[in-house]
Amino acid sequence: MSATPLRKPSADTAFDVERIRADFPILHNVRPHGKPLSFLDNAASSQMPQQVIDRIVRYETHEHANIHRGVHLLSTLATEAYEGARRSVQRFLNAKEDREIIFTTGCTEGVNLVMHGYGRKFIGAGDEIIVTHLEHHSNIVPWQMLCEEKGAKLRVAPIDDRGEVIQEAYDALFNERTKFVAISHVSNALGTINPVRRMIDVAHARGIPVLVDGAQAAPHIAVDVQALDCDFYAFSGHKVCGPTGSGALYGKAALLEKMQPFKGGGDMILSVTFEKTTFNTIPHKFEAGTPPIMPMIGLGAALDYLSAIGMDRIAAHEHALLEYATEQVSALDGVRIIGTAREKAAVLSFYVGEVHPHDVGTLLDEEGVAVRTGHHCAQPVMQRFGVPATVRASFAFYNTFAEVDALVEAIRKVQKLFG
Amino acid sequence: MDSKQLYQEVILDHNRKPRNYGPLEGATHVSEGLNPLCGDHIWLRLRVADDRIDAVAFEGQSCAICKASASMMTASIKGRSVGEAETLVTAFRGMVTGEVDPSTPGNPIGRLAVFSGVKDLPSRVKCAILPWHTLHAALGSQTVATTEGAQDPMGGAPS
What's the confidence (pLDDT) of residue B147? Answer: 76
Name the residue with higher pLDDT: A143 or B157.
Answer: A143
Which chain B residue shows the shortest CA-CA distance from A33? B2
Element (H, E) at B5: helix B3-6
User: What ipTM, to 2 d.p.?
Assistant: 0.84
What's the confidence (pLDDT) of residue B158? 37
The pLDDT of residue A5 is: 44
Give how far A177 is from chain B: nearest CA, Å: 35
Closest-CA distance of chain B to residue A32, Å: 11
Task: Enumerate residues 68 to 97 of chain B having a beta carbon within 8 A of any beta carbon in chain A.
Answer: none
Q: Domain range for residue B84?
A: 3-144
Do the Cβ atoms of A100 and A283 come closer than 8 Å?
yes
- Indicate the CATH number for domain A17-48+311-418: 3.90.1150.10
Work out the minimum CA distance from A231 to partner chain B, whole angstroms: 34
Task: State the total domains in chain B.
Answer: 1
Q: What is the pLDDT of residue A9?
A: 45
Is B83 within a domain? yes
- Asked if CATH classification 3.40.50.300 holds for the domain at A52-308, the reply, yes or no, is no
Rounded CA gap, B14 and B84, in Å?
22
Q: What is the pLDDT along chain A (419 residues), one digit of tens a residue?
A: 344 444 444 455 568 999 999 999 999 999 999 999 999 999 999 999 999 999 999 999 999 999 987 789 999 999 999 999 999 999 999 999 999 999 999 999 999 999 999 999 999 999 999 999 999 999 999 999 999 999 999 999 999 999 999 999 999 999 999 999 999 999 999 999 999 999 999 999 999 999 999 999 999 999 999 999 999 999 999 999 999 999 999 999 999 999 999 888 888 888 888 888 888 899 999 999 999 999 999 999 999 999 999 999 999 999 999 999 999 999 999 999 999 999 999 999 999 999 999 999 999 999 999 999 988 888 898 889 988 889 999 999 999 999 999 999 999 999 999 98
**pLDDT for the residue numbered A3:** 43
Residue ranges of chain A that CATH labels 3.90.1150.10: 17-48+311-418
* Percent of chain B residues past pLDDT 70, beyond the cut: 91
Whether residues A417 and B7 touch (CB distance < 8 A) is answered with yes
Is this structure's pTM higher than 0.80? Answer: yes
pLDDT of residue B151: 67
> Among the options A107, A230, A241, A377, which is catalytic?
A377
When scoring B17, B37, B38, B147 by the number of chain A Cβ atoms within 10 A, the one with the most, hence best to mutate, is: B38
Would you say residue B150 lies in a domain? Answer: no
A230 is catalytic: no
Burial class (CB in 10 A: 0-12, 13-18, 19+), A338: buried
pLDDT at B156: 44
The answer to whether residue B109 is domain-embedded is yes
Question: In this structure, what CATH number is given to the domain that contains residue B8?
Answer: 3.90.1010.10
Task: State phi, psi for A3 to the nearest 5 degrees.
Answer: -70, 160
Instruction: List CB contacts (< 8 A) between B40 and chain A.
Output: 358
Would residue B153 count as lying in a domain? no
pLDDT confidence tier of residue B150, bands split at 50, 70 and 90? low
pLDDT at res. A338: 95
The SS3 of residue B57 is strand
pLDDT, averaged across chain B? 89
Residues contacting residue A178 through CB under 8 Å, at least 6 positions apart: A127, A128, A129, A130, A155, A203, A206, A208
